Amino acid sequence: MRSQEDGLRDRVAEFVRTRVMPCEPVLDAGGPHAAAVLRELQARARQEGLWALPLPSELGGQGLPFAGYARLAEAEGASDHGPAALGSASLLDATMLWKHGGDRIRGRYPARLAAGELRACYAMTEPDTPGTDPFATATRAEEQPDGSWRVSGRKWFVSGAGGADLVTVLARTDGEPGDREGLSLLVVPTDSPGFHVVRELPVLGAGGQWEIRFDGVGVAADHLLGGRGQALPIAAERLRLGRTLRCLRWLGQAQRAFDLMCVRACSRTGSRGALAGHQLVQSHVFEALLALRTTRPLVHEAAAKIAAGLDAHVEVGLAKVAAARMLQQVADAAVQVHGAAGLGPDTPLPALLRTGRAARILDGPDELHVTSVARRVLRAYEGGAT
Ligand SMILES: Cc1cc2nc3c(=O)[nH]c(=O)nc-3n(C[C@H](O)[C@H](O)[C@H](O)COP(=O)(O)OP(=O)(O)OC[C@H]3O[C@@H](n4cnc5c(N)ncnc54)[C@H](O)[C@@H]3O)c2cc1C
């Protein structure tokens, strides 16, 4: 029997397919026209009762529990613009500020993020230190006599920084680069003097990532997220939730590439019939389906553990690597079956392939998750224990 959640998932899928996907070329181009189209889509989502489904009700969202949201995040994420159009793109920032911010942060930002009035970004990666090693962070926040902070440093590949109203930045408040202690998260309004957007950094030709600079930016004492030196547990919590959300969305994007591949295989015909009749094309279909079907349960296992508040380190690591590889593989197969059309401007496949490639680096490259999961698993076997 179909549940209420199935109905909601179908409505989200329909909204993304009929309203968001046709606007993708405009939204991808960015600029004022894209912003206006996004606002129209957001208004429509509100009218249809689909706005901010997973955001807590105290922030103006619909309070759908994460376990329920995980079932429809795949449909919502089939377009990169789905989460922004449906008001769930703010889930990560609003949740972290609401959970770990003091009274002033909680009062000022999360509800406005959930309403789509403000946009936030998260800045951890630096040009001159490895993003895979947060202890090397060189950005500094110096405490001032009145308890406020002065932040200096550079960050890059910060998603959405060009249009953000606030940035959560990882900075060293104590100790020296390399120390395991002394890292904090600060919430910085982007209209603060000394905050600069340096340049956009196209990723395989697509915009959306930015380099930013902090030139002695003043930050109020109450804009520290969590306590002084408490960055790493909060960052880890954020990354686990963020990676799981991305994996769910990548499943939706891979399913989209898979569907396009199958339609093309059946509709493209030559003197020897449809492409679908070639065994090597069937092999692409089989391998892509296998990758999708074996990855989906891993992602939902990670989501279920997150929803239950359990330790999900291993499950999220497995899901992240599997989902990134899978999206790259499925998108690549779909491009192959489309021939030159798969590389041209008339399908979303180049964008899906680009997302799949970037997926293997962003939120921590594959290697980091492979070693981190393996180390954790092996710990249980040390000393001959089984
Ligand atoms: C599209 C996109 C969006 C992004 N969005 C954001 C964002 O919003 N905010 C943000 O802060 N960052 C963001 N990033 C940056 C991303 O998180 C980092 O690029 C990533 O964590 C890797 O850091 P790095 O680039 O400094 O690579 P490095 O740390 O220099 O690593 C380079 C390579 O070295 C190898 N390597 C590193 N560590 C290990 C290891 N332990 N074992 C084996 N090999 C290893 C891997 O092959 C790795 O790819 C984004 C990146 C992209 C591409």
Regarding pTM above 0.85, the answer is: yes
| Neighbour-count burial for 3-24, b at 16+ CB within 10 Å, e otherwise | eeeeebbeebbebbeebbbebe
Cβ of 164 less than 6 Å from ligand 1: no
- Please tell me if the CB atom of residue 90 comes closer than 6 angstroms to any atom of ligand 1: no
Ligand 1 atom with minimal separation from the 126 CA:
26
H helix and E strand count, the chain: 13, 10
Atom 49 of ligand 1: nearest residue by CA position: 365
Q: What's the gap in Å between 361 CA and the centre of ligand 1?
A: 5
pLDDT of 385 strictly over 70: no
Pocket of ligand 1 contains residue 131 by CB under 6 Å: yes
Q: Output the residue whose Cα is nearest ligand 1's atom 37.
A: 132
Instruction: Find, among 259, 276, 257, 279, the residue nearest to 267 by Cα.
Output: 276
Measured by CA distance, the residue closest to atom 26 of ligand 1 is 131
Is the C-beta atom of 93 inside 6 A of ligand 1? Answer: no
Cα(43) to ligand 1 centroid in Å equals 35
Which two structure tokens, joined as six digits, stand for 254? 């891979």
Which pLDDT score is estimated for 121?
Answer: 98
Residues 306-328 have a mean pLDDT of: 97
CB of 239 closer than 6 angstroms to any ligand 1 atom: no
Banded pLDDT at 2 (limits 50, 70, 90):
confident
Domains of the chain: 4-89 (1.10.540.10), 120-229 (2.40.110.10), 233-384 (1.20.140.10)
User: If you measure from the C-alpha of residue 91 to the centroid of ligand 1, how many angstroms do you get, rounded to a whole number?
Assistant: 23
Nearest-CA residue for ligand 1 atom 28 is 130
Distance 102 CA to ligand 1 centre (A): 30
Q: Could you give the CA distance from residue 157 to residue 149 in angstroms, rounded to a whole number?
A: 24
Question: How sure is the predictor about 293, in pLDDT bands with cuts at 50, 70 and 90?
Answer: very high
The predicted structure's pLDDT at residue 301: 98
Q: 124 in ligand 1 pocket by Cβ < 6 Å?
A: yes
Instruction: Quote the pLDDT of residue 16.
Output: 98
**Pocket perturbation via mutation, ligand 1, pick of 133, 158, 169, 361 by most ligand atoms within 8 A of CB:** 361
Angle between helices 231-267 and 91-100 (to 10 degrees): 170
| Beta carbon of 361 within 6 Å of any ligand 1 atom | yes
* Residue 130 CB less than 6 A away from ligand 1: yes
Does 304 contact ligand 1 (Cβ within 6 A)?
A: no
Write down the pLDDT at residue 383: 80
Q: What whole-number distance in Å separates Cα of residue 142 and Cα of residue 366?
A: 34
In tens, the pLDDT along 65-86 reads 999 999 899 999 999 999 999 9
What ligand 1 atom has the least distance to the C-alpha of 365? 49
Predicted confidence (pLDDT) per residue in 127-179, tens digit: 999 999 999 999 999 999 999 999 999 999 999 999 999 999 999 999 999 99
Residue 366 burial by Cβ neighbours in a 10 Å radius (0-12, 13-18, 19+): middle
